[in-house]
Structure 1
Amino acid sequence: MIEGITMANIRNVDLNLLTVLDVLLTERSVSRAAERLNLTQPAVSGALKRLRTTFNDPLFLRAQQGIRPTPFALELIGPVKAVLQDIDTIFAGTEFIAETADVTFTIAATDYAQTTFLSPLIKRVKATGPNIRFSVVSADSKRMAEQLDRQEIDFAVTVPEMSPPNPPSIELFEDRYVCALDAGHPKAEHRLSLDRFCDLDHVLVTPSSDGFFGPTDEALRKLDRERRVSVTIPNFLSLPSILKDSEFITVAPERILRPFEGDLKIFPTPFPLPRFRMIGVWNNHSDKSPAHSWLRDQMTELAAEMR
């Protein structure tokens, strides 16, 4: 229940109004919502006025660019999507026609997943469904369970450690950890021994603020060794530029580093590390959605090609 509003109440709202509300929550703009719905802006504004009366809440406030939802409106995202998905399932049966579909998928993903998996996935999907759209947001392990439950996101592509406990999921692919340093680094010509590896200054990529410790350090601890982590960064975006023309070294998934092989020297780690796993997760509410099922199939097929 949301402040007295139940799913039954929402199901009694005019379906056309719920569709307008869903698009407004996605677009955060009356003009863009009107364009997507093939309606005039006055028609969308009129629907919003009726929605405000129905829910006894402003729902959206003016922002510097477009409109922003009120806290109450944010709480409606999941229930509204659930009702519309139920309706879609009834009318669509088990068939999803990608070529003519007009649907938006919201996917939370790490920067690694955005680069290595979502980029080819989006190209693959758009080649079949030109009107299918993607809204990609940064993965947030602290909010992921809530985002999935409220259907603020449709999928998350992440590592198991960031995933909520026990959601529906699929194994996507694995990557291996490798070492990388600047191609002009004095140690770049040789495979490093464990001693030399530990003596260098390291860059650690970690989305958390838990300090200078990661999977590499955990593996080293089992060997009764430790390295010197000098820099931590929250994502892989700036890693190549930090390594270039420096004496830093990093341990990172191979797929994220290979595009920079000309500027970087990439080689195996001097000790074994667990594989880097990527999974796709979603909410139980989406299991029977033809659109979601179709996208899961696309993800599975792409992942198989990447193995």
Structure 2
Amino acid sequence: MAATDYSLRAIVEPFLLTLRQQAPNIKVSIRWINEHDLFEQMERGIIDLALTTPEASPGDLRAKTLFSETYVCVLRNAHPLLKNDSLTIEQFCSIDHAIVSYVGGAFEGTTDQVLRSMGKQRRVVLSVPSFLSLVDILKTSDLCAVVPKRLIKNVQGLTTVKLPFDVPGFTKIMTWHERTHHSDAHRWIRESIIKLCNEL
């Protein structure tokens, strides 16, 4: 299975808990997704399933939409700005932010594009390559981050706050190759993932 760190936390981790109960003898290998080589890897049998987005998926693969994701603002539980239930756009822009940059080193993303269209700018002081490390950093600092909502579900020590503006979300899909489409075992795995995503 190929996945991003987001998919690993939001989908694969809860799926593995279910899988270990229902099919304890199945072996699962997780790889970081490489969209450029995904079709070839599936064609050669290196990858059976991939968790990606419609924009990053090769068009020749089978696909099923799993869910639509939204973004939320996240702060540690004892953050000074949590005296109110919501943040103003001025408060949002005045505090230090952390973002995830998969390519590494970027200090702006979709949120910044939205802010720029409004004539606003935030202070991004930390860029990390993974959502997995970002969650732990947020728990022990006064940094703020805009993250996918499912990523921090049931995470202790963090509080979500409604964003004072709209940031476009994304769609998460599951893709697979025609060679495994009619396999009963593969169909069962795919249906199990779909069922899990509907319940989360």
Counterpart check, 1:249 vs 2:125: no
TM-score by length of structure 1 reads 0.59
What is the rounded CA distance, in whole Å, between the counterparts of 2:158 and 2:14 in structure 1?
Answer: 24
- 1:171-182 matches, cutoff 5 A: 171-182=65-76
Structure 1 pair 303–260 and aligned structure 2 pair: CA distance change class (3 A): closer
Q: Which residue of 2 aligns with 1:155?
A: 49
Q: How far does residue 146 in structure 1 lie from its aligned partner after superposition?
A: 2.9
- 1:255-266 matches, cutoff 5 A: 255-261=150-156, 263-266=157-160
Q: Which residue of 2 aligns with 1:226?
A: 121
Q: Which residue of 1 aligns with 2:186?
A: 292
- 1:121-200 matches, cutoff 5 A: 121-190=15-84, 191-200=86-95
Q: Which residue of 2 aligns with 1:215?
A: 110
Q: Is the Cα contact below 8 Å between 1:185 and 1:245 reproduced in 2? A: no
Q: Which runs of 5+ in 1 are unaligned?
A: 1-106
- State the AA in 1 paired with 2:18: R
Q: How far does residue 152 in structure 1 lie from its aligned partner after superposition?
A: 0.9
Q: Which residue of 2 aligns with 1:238?
A: 133
Could you tell me which of 249, 265, 277 is aligned with 2:171?
A: 277
Q: Which runs of 5+ in 2 are unaligned?
A: none
- State the AA in 2 paired with 1:109: A
TM-score by length of structure 2 reads 0.88
Structure 1 pair 119–243 and aligned structure 2 pair: CA distance change class (3 A): closer
Moved more, 229-238 or 179-188: 179-188
Structure 1 pair 113–286 and aligned structure 2 pair: CA distance change class (3 A): same
Name the SS of the counterpart of 1:260 in structure 2: coil
Q: Which residue of 2 aligns with 1:50?
A: none
What is the rounded CA distance, in whole Å, between the counterparts of 2:20 and 2:140 in structure 1?
Answer: 39
What is the rounded CA distance, in whole Å, between the counterparts of 2:154 and 2:18 in structure 1?
Answer: 20
Name the SS of the counterpart of 1:147 in structure 2: helix
Aligned length: 199
- What is the alpha-carbon root mean square deviation over aligned residues? 2.0
Name the SS of the counterpart of 2:20 in structure 1: helix
Q: How far does residue 220 in structure 1 lie from its aligned partner after superposition?
A: 2.1
CA deviations over 1:215-252 (Å, ceiling 9, x no partner): 21232233232222211111111113322342211000
Query: Relative contact order, CA 8 A, sep 6+: which one is greater?
Result: 2
Counterpart check, 1:118 vs 2:25: no
Name the SS of the counterpart of 2:80 in structure 1: coil
CA deviations over 1:108-154 (Å, ceiling 9, x no partner): 11122122211222232333323222111122233323322322110
Name the SS of the counterpart of 1:134 in structure 2: coil
Structure 1 pair 151–224 and aligned structure 2 pair: CA distance change class (3 A): farther
